[in-house]
Amino acid sequence: MAAIPPNPNHFESKGPATQWGDLAERIVVCARLLRDDLGQRAGRWDLSEPEFSVLWICRETPPEGIGQNELADSLAISASAVSGLVERLRRRGLLEGRRGQSDRRRQLWRLTPAGRNQLYQVLADWTGRLRAEFSAVALDELLAGLNQLDDTIRGRAGSRRPGRRLREKPDFRTASGSKATSEAKREGAV
């Protein structure tokens, strides 16, 4: 645990501790607002926010699909909660499930064409207003800052908590934009 700084000015209105506290509060508020807005938009297509999140995670899974336990980890919810979500989405024709080839007990999930279409309809509706008011450059900078904060917090915590890293765009200006190079840079190898 960090020692409390002896300098009482550390907690002044523009001090570092206050800035970090303001940042934490703003992130929590913005996350709640984004989730509420997304939930309302997804509701237009009869999707709950958790159901939308499952479709979102499944959008870039390997061809064989993503395991139910990996979905639970990514969503930071129990495997039993994921079971209900994927079953509802399967019945609606938005997800398809199959057994793993090497482990027949493992259930793998992937989007159907109807699921991919519904996901992109919700995304187009939801992001239209946001894109109009938030530049691509500003979004890239925000994602980079949040990834750095995520890495810092996870590193200090000493253990990997559930959740996925925010998606990074490759840097097409140089050859160093490859996924492997980006991961190596994060790990300090480059």
* Average pLDDT value for residue range 110-138: 90
Asked if CATH classification 1.10.10.10 holds for the domain at 23-152, the reply, yes or no, is yes
Average pLDDT of the chain? 78
At 112, is the secondary structure helix, strand, or coil? coil
* Average pLDDT value for residue range 48-60: 92
Query: Domain ranges in the chain?
Result: 23-152
| Amino acid 103: pLDDT | 73
| Amino acid 83: pLDDT | 93
Report the C-alpha gap between 155 and 60 in whole angstroms: 26
Neighbours of 147 (CB within 10 A): 15
pLDDT score of 104 more than 50: yes
* Average pLDDT value for residue range 135-149: 89
158 is written with which tokens? 């000493």
pLDDT score of 119 more than 80: yes
| Amino acid 125: pLDDT | 87
CA-to-CA dists, residue 111 to 66, 89, 122, angstroms: 10, 9, 15
| Amino acid 5: pLDDT | 59
Largest distance between two CA atoms of the chain: 61
pLDDT score of 13 more than 80: no
At 78, is the secondary structure helix, strand, or coil? coil
| Amino acid 168: pLDDT | 41
